[in-house]
Amino acid sequence: MTGFISHPRIVPGAVEERVYQLSMARGCVSESTLIILPTGLGKTVVALLTMAEILERKGRILVLAPTKPLVDQHASFFSENLRDTSVAAVTGNMAPNKRRTTVLSNDVIVSTPQAISNDLMNEIYDLLEFDLVIYDEAHRGTGNYAYVHVAEKYNGLALGMTASPGSDIERMDEVCRNLSLKRIDTRSEYDPDVSPYVYDVNVERIEVNMPKDLTDVISLLKALTDRYAAELTALRLMDPNWPPSTKHLLTIGRNLQARLANGEKTSVVFRGLTLQSMCIKALHAVSLAETQGMSALKNYLLKIQAEASKKDGGKGSKEIVASKEFVKAWKIASESRVEHPKVSRVMTLVSRTLGSDEGAKVLIFTQYRDTCDLLVEKLSSVGGARVGKLIGQANGGLKQKEQIEMLDMFRDGLRNVIVATSVGEEGLDIANTDTVIFYEPVPSEIRTIQRRGRTGRRDRGKVYVLVAKGTVDEVFEESSRKKELLMRSRLERLSKGLSGKKAPAVRQRALSDF
């Protein structure tokens, strides 16, 4: 039987003893480290073990997390599991003087990086008194993200944590450089000291066929996209060997804006900018039709029409709305009563899951809020389903307090089905979930891993991935699969390289009580 951690700073009987977590923490106490550990296998516990030893040495600790709900979650976890330790959450809503007093008078500070970065910029306090800084979701530590600004002002021991660093080795290097992390400690589900704690997650791919109304609309919108792309090519602004994609079109837009900024106010530049804008809109409409369905598409086409109807509306929107392809597409979409076949498939999966287990919990991920609202409406009619939604704050979404309340209701069983956008993917300790449904594949290996990691934490889990046949869903699915394989192979090589080196010396007394 597994025992519990015994340490003067950790509540007795609170933390299960796992060899791999102890081993990782020993290294973290010795040297600034990036730990990479699959979702659900206790990165936060490794942080707790590291913190306990630093606190025992009379050290002070700063924990940074990217969102306020995650800050509250960490503050609660550390408060409950650390003994003789004052833990305080700091927010940007606090008055600067109160923030300063809080930061200087507690053993552990948990905050969003933006709040700390702003205070350091305004010289409200410094980081000299901190002996450890922890960066949760450390893969964000690139570019101008606030983690980077904080790290520039800090010289001591650091700990970065992530489940999914991505497949780009240069990005991993950048994170380590930016956050001054000197070593990497990685584990996978297949490592012998980790595998006993990993539950099987069965991933099932479900392919759906598109109805005629949607395929007709998609054909019209693709014809529109191709026409605009052909004109861009004729103007020598688009590479004919590079199919139109959002990435390609954004590159074209940046090049044209640079030419405009350099004083090139020609008809080619102006027409090119209009075509680029129209092509992006048409391409996005195709993606919505293929992956989301008729409701999401109609809402988007209505937005384009609304913009076109304004006196000062964009020239591109006016031209799109006047095109014969748009007129035909809108006629079909506005008169159609069909919805994406994924909707009925999600309803069936939820009904089947709840019907086979009264206590089951289902988490559904979708890319867009329109689809989120549609699924909440449809699933509310499924017997036994108590449905909620989890979305971000922007544009009238859920405030952070409301997000936390929704997660608490899911945890307590007051809600057993949650439909979430990307806000549910990263970090948050969502209650043990029996089933996760991807309404659509996402082309990011980081997001795919985070979505999948919402299940299989304490028992076997089930993941369903819905794929619309012959659409961009298939492209995104393959992209994510290749990136994840690449990431795993690079991490395996990295892990083997590290294991061949001499282990870092552990300071005297480090984790001696474990």
Under-50 pLDDT residues of the chain:
1, 456-457, 495, 497-514
pLDDT at 167: 58
Please state, in angstroms and rounded to a whole number, the distance separating the CA atoms of residues 272 and 213.
32
Interhelix angle 113-121/96-105, rounded to 10 degrees, is 100
Q: Verify that 242 and 193 share a domain, yes or no.
A: no
Of the residues 284, 301, 335, which one is the last residue of a structural domain?
335
Q: Tokens representing 71? A: 């800050």
CATH code of the domain in which 443 resides: 3.40.50.300
Element (H, E) at 463: strand 461-468
Sign of the CA dihedral 85, 88, 89, 92? negative
Q: Name beta bridge partners: 35.
A: 161, 185
* 376 within domain boundaries: yes
Q: Verify that 178 and 260 share a domain, yes or no.
A: no
* 496 within domain boundaries: no
Q: Verify that 23 and 93 share a domain, yes or no.
A: yes
Of the residues 308, 335, 362, which one is the last residue of a structural domain?
335
pLDDT at 106: 96
Q: Verify that 45 and 190 share a domain, yes or no.
A: yes
What confidence tens digit (pLDDT) does each residue in 105-124 have? Answer: 999 999 999 999 999 999 99
* 187 within domain boundaries: yes
Percentage of the chain with pLDDT > 70?
Answer: 87
- What is the residue range of 449's domain? 201-209+340-485
Helices (H), 32-145: 43-56, 68-81, 96-105, 113-121
Please state, in angstroms and rounded to a whole number, the distance separating the CA atoms of residues 417 and 366.
13
Q: Is 122 exposed, middle or buried (CB count within 10 Å of its CB: 0-12, 13-18, 19+)?
A: exposed
Of the residues 335, 365, 389, which one is the last residue of a structural domain?
335
Q: Name beta bridge partners: 133.
A: 62, 158
Tell me which residue of 378, 17, 28 sits closest to 184, measured CA to CA. Answer: 28
Q: Verify that 355 and 382 share a domain, yes or no.
A: yes
Q: Verify that 480 and 379 share a domain, yes or no.
A: yes
Residue that has been written with the tokens 């089947």 in this structure:
352
* 491 within domain boundaries: no
Tell me the C-alpha to C-alpha distance, in Å, between residue 448 and each of 96, 118, 164, 247. Answer: 38, 32, 9, 20
Q: Verify that 175 and 75 share a domain, yes or no.
A: yes
Residue that has been written with the tokens 């979505």 in this structure:
451
pLDDT at 498: 43
Please name the residues in contact with 78: beta carbons below 8 A apart, sequence gap of 6 or more.
Answer: 48, 51, 63, 85, 87, 108, 110
Sign of the CA dihedral 311, 314, 318, 321? negative
The SS3 assignment for 328 reads: helix
CATH code of the domain in which 243 resides: 1.20.1320.20
pLDDT at 123: 93
Buried b (16+ CB within 10 A) or exposed e, 377-407: ebbeebeebbbbbbbbeeeebbebeebbebb
Question: For the chain, first and last CA: distance in Å?
Answer: 17
Q: Verify that 118 and 29 share a domain, yes or no.
A: yes
Number of structural domains, the chain? 3
* 276 within domain boundaries: yes
Interhelix angle 212-234/324-335, rounded to 10 degrees, is 160
Please state, in angstroms and rounded to a whole number, the distance separating the CA atoms of residues 355 and 218.
36
CA-CA-CA-CA torsion for 153, 159, 163, 166, nearest 10 degrees? 50
Q: Verify that 366 and 420 share a domain, yes or no.
A: yes
Q: Tokens representing 52? A: 């306990």
pLDDT at 504: 36
* 54 within domain boundaries: yes
* 506 within domain boundaries: no
Q: Verify that 445 and 360 share a domain, yes or no.
A: yes
Q: Verify that 42 and 190 share a domain, yes or no.
A: yes
Q: Verify that 192 and 205 share a domain, yes or no.
A: no
The answer to whether 483 and 453 have CB atoms below 8 angstroms apart is no
Tell me the C-alpha to C-alpha distance, in Å, between residue 425 and each of 12, 49, 255. Answer: 32, 25, 34
Which contacts (CB < 8 Å, 24+ apart) does range 251-257 have? 252/276, 253/277, 253/280
* 420 within domain boundaries: yes
